[in-house]
Amino acid sequence: MLPQEIIRKKRNGSVLEAAEIASFVEGLADGSISEGQVAAFAMAVWFSGMARAECVALTLAMRDSGETLDWGELGRPVVDKHSTGGVGDNVSLMLAPIVAACGIAVPMISGRGLGHTGGTLDKLESIPGYDIQPSPDRFRKVVDEVGCAIIGQTANLAPADKRLYAIRDVTATVDSVPLITASILSKKLAAGLQSLVLDVKLGNGSFMSDPEETEVLARSLVDVANGAGVRTSALITDMNEPLADAAGNALEIENCLAYLRGDKAGTRLDQVIMALAAEMLDTAGVAPDRAGAEAMARRALESGAAMERFALMVHRLGGPADFADRSQAYLEKAPAVVPVPAGRDGYLARCETRELGMAVIGLGGGRTRPDDPIDRRVGLSRLAPLGTEVEKGQPIALVHAADRTQAEAMRERIASLYTISDEKPEPRQVVRSRIT
């Protein structure tokens, strides 16, 4: 089938047959379809959408474009989580070792930064030696012995999605519900999961800022995944401010270690992690109920078992054996760090979260082209949460940059992204709803 005819048909709003979708995905995987044609197809889907049957066909075709994994020999539940992405969303780094410490296997296939959001793999590559693409045997061994392994797509795992993912990032087609659904689920289904929990972000720092559109995406993901035989549920969580108090690759690794040490209890980040951990444990059937599941997760964190799993995962995937204890010796530091002062007295009432993510990219901490290098030292830290009372000149964040000039220029930009008001804003619920 000619790819241009498939593109034309979708551009005109027609429903593609499963065979047409399979043919296009085959060309995606083997490289016979050009980058321009892939971009045109993605844009056609962005404008015309896809029926549920088309989305299922696209998901399954991308899943079957490479190998699929089977974890039957592990003898324990195999569960994963995926987030639709946001700013300061480093949840996977902590969540995987927490639930692994509770007896679940977590073979987590993660991605790089997409649009204004940070990528889990980019963060992990801040750790010297960490191998994001281990051999299949090494991946299996780490999951078996540690309980979790966070890696990237191998060349043989959903290769069609790997190519489409990179092109979407630079063609303004990231926020298409069918493409998001197929991209996320093709990798997850290829990973051989028994159940899946999704974190669908809502707010000005997510790809979805409209509550109805967000629920449409969550429903699409849950329905397609369950239809493919994987028990799946979703939480819709708030992304109207950075989730962690850091944004940037090495800075988010340091934030992860602080969380695993118990330094972030009670924060918005903590609430999301515990809610997702409870969902994963409950879905896997290893806890009597959701309250019991959250108690299990909290014990794994507070006992230090989760930190032990994280440290062991890092070491078994090539990182330093003492990384958790001596991270400062291994993580690169930005040459220039400057504070962002509050412009007036009052309460932090609002921030332009997406623009904070774009600021990290502007510092060099993300990509504008698929092959751009990343400066993993740069980013933002000590981000004050909304609702914080501040005085004029008080630091509300720190900018980490490659040089002083860049840091000072970015300081002004970051300050402009916050609104300070006389009235303290009403707190927002972090976990907004649950979709099953």
Q: What is the largest CA-CA distance in the chain?
A: 64
- Identity of the amino acid at 174: V
Antiparallel, parallel or unpaired: β 106-110 and 336-341: unpaired
Question: CA end-to-end span of the chain, whole Å?
Answer: 38
State the catalytic residues: 80-83, 120, 168, 183, 187-188
- Span 415-430, pLDDT tens digits: 999 999 999 999 999 9
The angle formed by the CA atoms of residues 325, 329 and 330, to the nearest 5 degrees, is 95
Least confident of 82-86, 252-256, 329-333: 82-86
Q: What average pLDDT does the structure give for the chain?
A: 93
- Span 231-266, pLDDT tens digits: 999 999 999 999 999 999 999 999 999 999 999 999
CB 199 within 8 A of CB 276: yes
Q: How far apart are CA 275 and CA 115, in angstroms?
A: 26
Q: How far apart are CA 403 and CA 134, in angstroms?
A: 34
- Span 381-407, pLDDT tens digits: 999 999 999 999 999 999 999 999 999
CB 115 within 8 A of CB 179: no
Q: Which two tokens stand for residue 230?
A: 């994987």
pLDDT band at 354 (very low <50, low <70, confident <90, very high): very high
Domain ranges of the chain: 3-63, 72-327, 332-421
DSSP string of 188-213? HHHTT-SEEEEEEEESTTSS--SHHH
**CATH class of the domain at 3-63:** mainly alpha
CB 120 within 8 A of CB 92: yes
Q: Which two tokens stand for residue 139?
A: 């991946």
Query: Which DSSP letter does residue 116 get?
Result: T
DSSP-based three-state secondary structure for 5: helix
CATH of the domain spanning 72-327, picked from 3.40.1030.10, 3.30.390.50, 1.10.540.10, 3.40.50.1820: 3.40.1030.10
CA distances from 296 to 17, 97, 282, 288, 307 (A): 46, 13, 10, 10, 15
Residue 371's pLDDT is what? 72
Q: What is the mean pLDDT of residues 46-62?
A: 93
Please provide the size of the chain in residues. Answer: 436
Please indicate whether residue 78 or residue 366 has the higher confidence score (pLDDT). Answer: 78
CB 33 within 8 A of CB 27: yes
- Identity of the amino acid at 314: V
Least confident of 156-165, 317-326, 345-354, 421-430: 156-165
CA distances from 421 to 376, 412, 414, 418 (A): 34, 18, 17, 10
Q: Which two tokens stand for residue 193?
A: 């999961």
Q: How far apart are CA 108 and CA 146, in angstroms?
A: 13
pLDDT band at 27 (very low <50, low <70, confident <90, very high): very high
Q: Which two tokens stand for residue 22?
A: 């399979």
72-327 and 332-421 share one fold = no
Question: What phi-psi label fits residue 318: left (phi over 0), alpha (psi between -120 and 50 degrees) or beta?
Answer: left
Burial of residue 288 (CB within 10 Å: 0-12, 13-18, 19+) is: exposed
DSSP-based three-state secondary structure for 323: coil
- Span 92-140, pLDDT tens digits: 999 999 999 999 999 998 877 766 777 899 999 999 999 999 998 999 9
Q: What is the mean pLDDT of residues 343-366?
A: 95
Residue 116's pLDDT is what? 75
Global pTM? Answer: 0.88
Determine phi and psi for 13, rounding to 5 degrees.
90, 10
CA distances from 164 to 42, 60, 167, 182, 436 (A): 8, 15, 5, 10, 28
Domain 332-421: give its CATH code: 3.90.1170.30
Report percent pLDDT > 70 for the chain. Answer: 99
Burial of residue 403 (CB within 10 Å: 0-12, 13-18, 19+) is: exposed
DSSP-based three-state secondary structure for 295: helix
Residue 370's pLDDT is what? 66
Nearest to 414 by CA among 391, 368, 380, 387: 380
